[in-house]
Structure 1
Amino acid sequence: MTADNPNKTMAGKPLTVTVNNQKFMRKAIKTHFITTQDSYLDIIHKYVGPIHRENDILAVSEKVISVTQNRLVYKSHIRVGTLAKILSKFVHVTPAGKGVGNPYKMQVAIESAGVLRILIGALLAAITRPLGIKGIFYKVVGNEVWAIDGFNDLAFDYYDDKGVLTPENPTEICNVIQNELGIKTIIVDANDINVEILGKSQGVYLSDDTIKQILQDNPAGQSNEQTPFILVREVE
């Protein structure tokens, strides 16, 4: 919660939302700047443990998990090819950012999904975009490409020379967090356009659709809020 407006998250989004006639609070939790030197269990224990209640659900940014797993790729290790340079010029830029419109991200996407899937996705996107159909490219190439982050310093200089890949074994990690800390957990890739659930612990009782509706306005923010944890709590 912000000190100047207790009814808003730090990103200026409403503190509470109503989904399926049930009200939920979304408490954005500010942390120190997390790097590869941190442990996700330690930081969750430190920042979430003291305020967590039994039925709360913790939404964790996928970037935090990836960084603590050292799932980083560096510009100095990437050779951007001609195909990546060409395709990146035709990517539709959204309010959530350039995505694979960044040549480095496109090159990582090509290496991750393969040239054929990338070309098919790009072709279908070119065909369907004039019809008002969006997101076909990412549906074809998969969430691992959608979730590639970094390679810019828009929020933090730390990410100017490095990209962040999707976390490994996100569902397993959610279960580890619940078993070790007693906190029901989901790992999400959320921005101002979309919410994707990458992993969910066994104790999470809300449906994926309900969770997406709760987080659809991205209460963690898209800038430098430094709030990678959103604690979701039902309000009686």
Structure 2
Amino acid sequence: MQTEKIIEKIVTWLRDYAEAANVKGYIIGVSGGVDSGVVSTLCAMTGLKLLAVEMPIRQPHDQVSRALEHLEFLKNKFPNVETKSIDLNEPFEALYKTFDVHDEDFPGEKLAFANTRSRLRMLTLYYYGQINGLLVCGTGNKVEDFGVGFFTKYGDGGVDVSPIADLYKTEVYELARNLDLPESIKNAIPTDGLWDQERTDEQQIGATYPELEKIQKEWGKKSESDYSGRNLEVFKIFQRMNRAAQHKIQPIPVCDIPEDWR
């Protein structure tokens, strides 16, 4: 992997896109994970304004500390970076009461409200992005965005640009090492940060990112009969999640009306 070339290409792409859109730069949510760590650093490297925002909602201490450490890293290294911590616990709890959440009453309620955390963060990013003339930068990687659909529709999936969506998770870790991010970020265990009791991505999906990447790279070239053992298990996980996520992966469908009906 030609890491330095990829970094240079993404930074140039981000700079050119912002200039063409006539905006000042980017805003990004920093979670304490490797994806947001890499993308925020790449945005900072454009030399354009970057507003890096930490938005805790019932977050475990280790996630908050990693996010704050990365904000300090960005501020100390790049003069064009501004940081902001916005505590979203109060509005989240207000929504929790307003929606009258009772997990035991409806099986999908717990997941729906977990996704509400992500959508509240999206709303926050777009508010501060708009008043500062900034585009919202996404942090989804290729497996999440186009493989298993491991993102929240109109939550962390609600963005203006996706600079690492063509990179696998293992490739994002390579970029993190090259960019010399804080050790806590480079070694962070992937988690979506949407649950009161921390759940890693692997625990939720049932497979590691390297396992999923293997299947995605062979997707369309091999079928279920080509796999056995653990690879077959992961294939079935990937297949199930990919099918269920098509409404997120594909563009919003439009009902075409024949011209002669108009």
State TM-score, norm by structure 2.
0.28
Query: Which has the higher relative contact order, 1 or 2, with Cα contacts under 8 A spaced 6 or more apart?
Result: 1
Give 1 or 2: higher strand fraction. Answer: 1
Greater helix percent: which structure?
A: 2
TM-score by length of 1: 0.30
Higher radius of gyration, 1 or 2 = 2
